[in-house]
Amino acid sequence: MTTYDDKTKGIVASDGRFILPLCKEYDDVTFKASYIVVPNIKCSGKITALFDLIVLGDVEAKEIDVKGRFVCLGNCTVSGSVIVQNEIWANDVRASSVEAHDRIVVQEIDGDTIIADGSIIVGKILAVEKLAKSAKIILCGETAYGAGKVAANTIITGEPIDLDGGEDAVESPNLYRPVSVQPQLTKAVVASTEPVDLVAHGELEYAPSGDFTGYLDFLTSTVYDDESKAKFARWKEVLNEAETVRQSGISEYSNIAIIIWLAEIAWSDYFKNWKAIDDIFDVFESHFKGLMARDKNAVGCTINTYDKWLEALSILSGFGALIDRNVYSVAFELVVSNLGLKAKFVSERLNEKGWEAHVE
């Protein structure tokens, strides 16, 4: 067994975490400090991490046990179980069983059992052979399929559920509903038509006057899960800050993080046809282009929490190509520098995997 801790030779310390530039193939490996591994981990046995574990590439192992957050920017392939005491953020997870004591956020996931104390958010497809269970919501950009069942307070899929048992494979959410949920909120299998209706309502009733505050208050009143309520509250805060800055004077504004949050809002389904939101984004994008032309060092990026840092990377990955390339490059550089990394170093590692980082 190989152990990495804060005294391991050849590592780089960065803001309470340690960067491992190369992880050789081992039987078992243990990380006794928060680690960022570049680029891959391949282990024929068990990976144990006593704190956060961030991997910039792929992970292969027999088992994974992480006491903090687990982030994998590549594919995570495990023959046995993945057990994480905090959040899981990954591109693609394939394991016999996946268990997180917080939310799971992935592009795709495939397992016999998938259990989360928080929400299970899947960009594309959730494949389950026995049971996928969330204490909050299961959200799939495409669908859920397989021989298993799904259980959550609310289940939202972009396409009809493709489980072998059809909608009968959706177990009663009353067994797993959060305490904060009212008794009348029974099983909800929501097809893609409901979000489209909410979007159409916003474009008809609120977009003509640019009343994003009223629309976000309306959206908040239509959802019951804490995660969606928090998202809409955050969007409202961002847009109110943007409006305040515009009215009081934008010339000295330097926090480029607002471009990241505005990109998420402007190109979401809810606001993609709102001229008022497009105008706000364009004003800030133009402002930062001019500010960078005058003095690149005048631009900063304030992100105060680890969750926000992960969200910022996710948004840049999803919408980066739609942001002015120079503005994106500076935003990406400042975001990754929060961990003491250089944008060029990170983009080179991503490009080695065939993942374009949009960074010159």
Give DSSP secondary structure letters for 158-224.
SS--EETTGGGGB--GGGT--TTS-TT---EEE-THHHHHHHHHHHHHTGGGT-HHHHHHHHHHH--
Look at the block and give the residue holding tokens 């943007």. 242
The whole-angstrom separation of Cα 272 and Cα 321 is: 16
Residues with Cβ within 8 Å of 9's Cβ and at least 6 positions away in sequence, in order, are none
Dihedral over Cα of 79, 80, 84, 87: its sign: positive
SS3 36: strand
Q: CA 46, 52, 57: angle at the middle one, nearest 5?
A: 70
Average confidence (pLDDT) over 70-80: 95
pLDDT surpasses 70 at 343: no
pLDDT surpasses 50 at 153: yes
Residue 112 has a CB neighbour count (10 Å cut-off) of 18
Q: Which of 84-93, 245-254, 305-314 has the lowest mean pLDDT?
A: 305-314
Average confidence (pLDDT) over 199-218: 90
Angle formed by the axes of helices 257-266 and 306-319, nearest 10° = 60
The whole-angstrom separation of Cα 329 and Cα 332 is: 5
93 — phi, psi (to 5°)? -120, 125
Q: Locate the domains of the chain by residue range.
A: 1-100, 103-191, 193-352
Beta bridge partners of 214: none
Quick one: tokens of 235?
Answer: 């969007």
pLDDT surpasses 80 at 353: no
Angle formed by the axes of helices 212-222 and 226-248, nearest 10° = 170
pLDDT surpasses 90 at 312: no
Closest CA to 256 of 336, 331, 359, 338: 331
Percent helix, percent strand, percent coil in the chain, to nearest 5: 35, 30, 35
Average confidence (pLDDT) over 133-147: 89
pTM of the entire structure?
A: 0.57
Task: Name which residue leads in pLDDT, 283 or 335.
Answer: 283
Q: Which of 120-134, 204-218, 324-338 has the lowest mean pLDDT?
A: 324-338
% of the chain surpassing 70 pLDDT? 86
Q: Kind and range of the H or E element at 198?
A: helix 193-205
SS3 335: helix
| pLDDT score for 188 | 40
Average confidence (pLDDT) over 167-175: 61
Average confidence (pLDDT) over 193-200: 58
| pLDDT score for 345 | 58
The listed range with the strongest mean pLDDT (190-204, 251-265, 304-318, 319-333) is 251-265
| pLDDT score for 181 | 34
| pLDDT score for 195 | 39
What is the separation of C-alpha 151 from the centre of its chain, rounded to a whole number of angstroms? 22
| pLDDT score for 154 | 80
Look at the block and give the residue holding tokens 């959206």. 219
**What letter represents residue 66's amino acid?**
V
Average confidence (pLDDT) over 270-277: 93
Model confidence band, residue 338 (pLDDT cutoffs 50, 70, 90)? low
pLDDT surpasses 60 at 186: no
Residues with Cβ within 8 Å of 252's Cβ and at least 6 positions away in sequence, in order, are none
